[in-house]
Amino acid sequence: MFYTLTANPAVDMTVQCPALVPNENIRSVSAVYTANGKGLDVSFALKKFGVDSVALGFFAGFTGKYVVDETMNMGCLCRPVWIDGTTRINSYFNDGENEYGILNPGPSITPQDEQELYKILDSTGDLDCLIVSGSVPPKASKDFLDQVVAHAKSRGADVVLDLSSDKLKTLAATKPLLIKPNHHEMREIFGVTIDTDDDARRALKLAHEAGVQNVLLTMGSRGSAYFSNGEDIWYAKREFNIKLVSSVCAGDCTLAAFLLGWYHDRDNVEEALKLALATGANVCESAGLGDFGHVEEYSKRIAVRKLPRE
């Protein structure tokens, strides 16, 4: 069973509006509220593909209850750790040309809250793969993520990391099964700006040397991605344009789709990449996850090639 951990979940408010003007009130065209958080998005996407998972996380107040209720309403299993405070609300504004995001820090967690999460990881009987995604709440212990990975690995579980902090480089030494940085995060963590295939080779090599087994490197609005297993590198790119409504959730759904196609069949890289990029593109065309209605069609318009060895 896949488990996902969203340590700092949110209610996302996605607003379609005219151009923003300083010091003026702007009337929006529409606003959509969704339960969100990177690990939760992975669970939601897996469920849309018919695959169950268990969503873990810290939840607080009326917004935390909303997120848990929505998670359960979507048919996802959830084992919440309830904490004090209020689960954060993040705001995204799209004026038709630009997208703006305002992300709040979220409620603090205590060592007692962390211990409650560790107990869940230690006691659950079906933990095959733990997907750890997103930011860490304020006042989390410095070794919180180290402990999460250690507890999962002590159960023999695979660990997948989708983190934007420097902690990803430290956790690489624990030999996670897979990491999913985007090109911005790869530059920040490993110091390589990725503009060419050779740049990607260098960055991916650094990740493997740090300890990572496999890397799914997404290139954001470029509509492409690299995957490396330490021996071979594949490059995938969509051959069509999309109309961006919101990029929120897209990377998380890309990861979910890739795992769906690859986790149980490690030779199925090309089809997994096609499904991943098609899913990410489809999500970008909606506020929230959307209905995945074009994934099958889009998968046929993703080109994948294996890069020549150096």
Q: What number of other Cβ atoms are within 10 A of residue 239's Cβ? A: 10
Active site residue 252: yes
Beta 30-36 vs 158-162: how paired, if at all? unpaired
Q: What number of other Cβ atoms are within 10 A of residue 25's Cβ? A: 5
User: Any residues with CB less than 8 A from the CB of 108 and at least 6 apart, and which?
Assistant: 83, 85, 137, 138, 139
The one catalytic residue in 113, 158, 162, 252 is 252
Cβ atoms of 87 and 123 within 8 Å: the answer is no
Enumerate the active-site residues: 252
